Amino acid sequence: MLLQEPGQTPYDLRFQILGFPVRVSVTFWAAAAVFGYGLARSLDAGFRQDSPGFVTLLLIWCACVFVSILIHEMGHALAFRGNGIESSIVLYFLGGLAIPRHGDSRGMSPGQAMWVAAAGPLAQIASAVLIVVAVRLAGSQSPVVWPLTRLDWLQQGLPLSSVGLTAILFMYVYPSVFWALLNLIPVWPLDGGRIVNSFVQMKGGNMVQALWVSVITAALVAGYGFSKGETYLGFLFLILGVNNFQAIQQISGPRY
């Protein structure tokens, strides 16, 4: 997801990977812990006496989310690099950012911009699929989530004997698939919204038309979220829909 870079703090983790500077905001870990709290509690109860413990499960969740979202942003960064633009990566409470730093991303063609937007979710989903396929080829049954549950072959094999490995696999596959699919929803500024914007431009349309797609889609997803009791999802897309509608008004300007 490409949004606005958060402010720096002395507690941020910094390192480089494949030449890309990476900064992990302290807010990333806080948000990961909040979102993983309920899941860690559920798995701790489900594993019963075999559970490694709630705190251990929560730490596993935070580590898996970190790797998963880093791979997502690496997908964007590598796609930028393929277009001659170097970038840096920031992970924070809303997910991650791939920020161009050498070269102007506004000079990319709609096709190039579409590929950059799609590369993040594709890298994330591919990493999850590779893991579950590798586990299945090893003869074991890998934890899978929708839509991978539709592939019967992945659910064959012997159950994993290690509770810890089961937790790691599930806690990696779940956010990898969920986060990628969430980002592919065609609402600006999610990756799906950027893909739609590029597609509309390629067909001779403009940003306002792409934003209307975002507004309509956001309204539908928000309605679905509230109807299913998914309050966070509902409010997230309600806010995104309102922001997109306001953007349309700003672009269109006042009419007299």
- At 43-89, the pLDDT tens digits run 999 999 999 999 999 999 999 999 999 999 999 999 999 999 999 99
pLDDT score at 225: 94
Alpha-carbon distance 52 to 49, whole Å?
8
Q: Which amino acid is at 234?
A: G
Please compute the mean of the pLDDT values over residues 204-217 and round it to a whole number: 94
Q: How confident is the model at residue 256 (pLDDT cuts 50, 70, 90)?
A: very low
pLDDT score at 2: 42
The region of weakest confidence among 62-66, 114-118, 143-147, 237-241 is 143-147
In three state form, how does the secondary structure of the chain look?
A: CCCCCCCCCCCCEEEEECCEEEEECHHHHHHHHHHHHHHHHHHHHHHHHHCCCHHHHHHHHHHHHHHHHHHHHHHHHHHHHHCCCEEEEEEECCEEEEEEEECCHHHCCHHHHHHHHHHHHHHHHHHHHHHHHHHHHCCEECCCCCCHHHCHHHHCCEECCCHHHHHHHHHHHHHHHHHHHHHCCCCCCCHHHHHHHHHHHHCCCCHHHHHHHHHHHHHHHHHHHHHCCCHHHHHHHHHHHHHHHHHHHHHHCCCC
Given a cut of 90, whether residue 196 has pLDDT beyond it is: yes
pLDDT score at 3: 53
The region of weakest confidence among 49-63, 91-105, 237-251 is 91-105
pLDDT score at 64: 96
pLDDT score at 86: 92
pLDDT score at 237: 94
pLDDT score at 152: 77
- List pLDDT tens digits, range 26-43: 999 999 999 999 999 999
Please compute the mean of the pLDDT values over residues 152-175 and round it to a whole number: 85
Q: CB within 8 A of 164, min separation 6: which ones?
A: 52, 60
Given a cut of 80, whether residue 155 has pLDDT beyond it is: no
Alpha-carbon distance 139 to 154, whole Å?
10
Given a cut of 50, whether residue 1 has pLDDT beyond it is: no
Given a cut of 70, whether residue 150 has pLDDT beyond it is: yes
Alpha-carbon distance 120 to 227, whole Å?
29
The region of weakest confidence among 75-79, 82-86, 138-142, 210-214 is 138-142
pLDDT score at 160: 79
Given a cut of 80, whether residue 231 has pLDDT beyond it is: yes
pLDDT score at 103: 60
Integer-rounded Cα Rg, in Å, for the chain is: 20
Please report the sign of the dihedral spanned by the C-alpha atoms of residue 35, residue 18, residue 181, residue 47: negative
Which residue bears the tokens 């969430």? 182
Count the Cβ atoms, other than its own, within 10 Å of residue 10: 5
The region of weakest confidence among 114-118, 124-128, 218-222, 250-254 is 250-254
Query: Taking the model in full, what pTM does it have?
Result: 0.89
Which of 238, 201, 245, 241 has its CA nearest to residue 222? 238
Supply the mean pLDDT for the chain: 89
pLDDT score at 161: 80
